[in-house]
Amino acid sequence: MAGALVAREPGGPGAMQWTDLATPEPGPGEVLVAHRAIGVNFIDVYYRSGLYPWPEGPMIPGAEASGIVEAVGAGVAGLRPGDAVAYVMPHGAYRERRVVPAERLVALPAGIDPVAIAGAMLKGLTAQYLVTASYAVQPGDTVLVHAAAGGVGLILGQWLKALGARAIGTAGGRQKAELALKHGYDCVIDYKADDFASEVARLTGGKGCAAVYDSVGADTWRGSLKCLRRRGMFVNFGQSSGMIRGFALSDLAAGSLSANRPVLFDYVAERTELLQRSSDLFARILDGSIRLDVSATRPLREAADAHADLEGRRTVGSTILVV
């Protein structure tokens, strides 16, 4: 049997109920993975709560995990039982064992912590495409990141520093701001206490930022646009405070701005791209430019508490569910 957290309909954290499922058999091109660790992400909350479209039937949240190959189906090359692997998507990771298409798995190189990486496949690959593809950060650029002490935020700060950018972060409270300062940010604004747009204007001498990475959405997007330099790039990649409403294309006329609303899956849908971005991430971890701090670990069965903390803004960095 393989225990899983199953939600039968959208709801609060308690909508996920522990359920014993039969251990699946891997079919052709598939691999049975015994999970070791699973990352908790805001996207799991969006699905569980019904903000994102509900799939057919019951739903198991979870979009990143690591584990050990237990069995491989017909036609799978390059993976054997006992291999350490990790993946980002497909959704459904909150369970002890699962079958995953072999083409979604990435073999873990020696030196990568198999537990910490479970919280950095989705978050780390997101940071990777944000700084290389959504806006290709250049040395010397000044860039603003909201929720800098969050899971994606702590990785982004370190990546920006490694690229030679000046990273300004925002965080909800002094303690979070101090943590972000230890993860690559040059300055961090407590946006609960201060107006971040005025602070960014002060910190940049009125010039503004080359890019703003905004995952907070409803509460921040108007201020984010004000933080951009001429022809700057607004990257909205999430909505922790709620969906953006009322945005008009003409808002971008204030400085010939650009905007994009990227989704990780579109940057790792092809296997070659998944492998190239993963190897970039692993190289950054192995050369020490990105440190993966696990801020909290919980047994898989306590995922509901992890969701409540994430939604309540009580977490920093990455939370891992261990099997």
Contact residues: ligand NDP, CB under 6 A: 41-43, 122-123, 126, 147, 149-153, 171-172, 176, 215-216, 219, 237-241, 262-264, 310-311, 313, 315
Q: Least separation, in Å, of the C-beta of 317 and ligand NDP?
A: 7
Our CB check for ligand NDP shows the closer of 4 and 154 to be 154
Our CB check for ligand NDP shows the closer of 4 and 147 to be 147
Our CB check for ligand NDP shows the closer of 13 and 153 to be 153
Neighbours of 314 (CB within 10 A): 9
First to last CA, the chain: 14
**Contact call for residues 83 and 69 (beta carbons, < 8 A):** yes
Cα→Cα distances 48→197, 213, 261, Å: 33, 25, 22
Our CB check for ligand NDP shows the closer of 5 and 156 to be 156
Amino acid identity, position 6:
V
Our CB check for ligand NDP shows the closer of 2 and 59 to be 59
Q: Which residue has the tokens 């910190």?
A: 203
Could you give the dihedral angle defined by the CA atoms of residues 38, 42, 47 and 49, in that order, rounded to the nearest 10 degrees?
120
Q: Least separation, in Å, of the C-beta of 100 and ligand NDP?
A: 19
Q: Least separation, in Å, of the C-beta of 319 and ligand NDP?
A: 8
Among candidates 36, 37, 12, 49, which has minimal Cα distance to 242?
A: 49
- Tell me whether residue 116 is exposed, middle or buried, using C-beta atoms within 10 angstroms of its C-beta: 0 to 12, 13 to 18, 19 or more: buried
Q: Least separation, in Å, of the C-beta of 29 and ligand NDP?
A: 26
Q: Least separation, in Å, of the C-beta of 81 and ligand NDP?
A: 31
Rounded Cα–Cα distance for residues 320 and 117 (Å): 9
Q: Which residue has the tokens 């699962």?
A: 98
Our CB check for ligand NDP shows the closer of 171 and 257 to be 171
Our CB check for ligand NDP shows the closer of 71 and 236 to be 236
Q: Least separation, in Å, of the C-beta of 171 and ligand NDP?
A: 4
**Contact call for residues 146 and 170 (beta carbons, < 8 A):** yes
**Bridge partners for 98 per DSSP:** 33
Q: Least separation, in Å, of the C-beta of 253 and ligand NDP?
A: 25
Rounded Cα–Cα distance for residues 41 and 47 (Å): 10
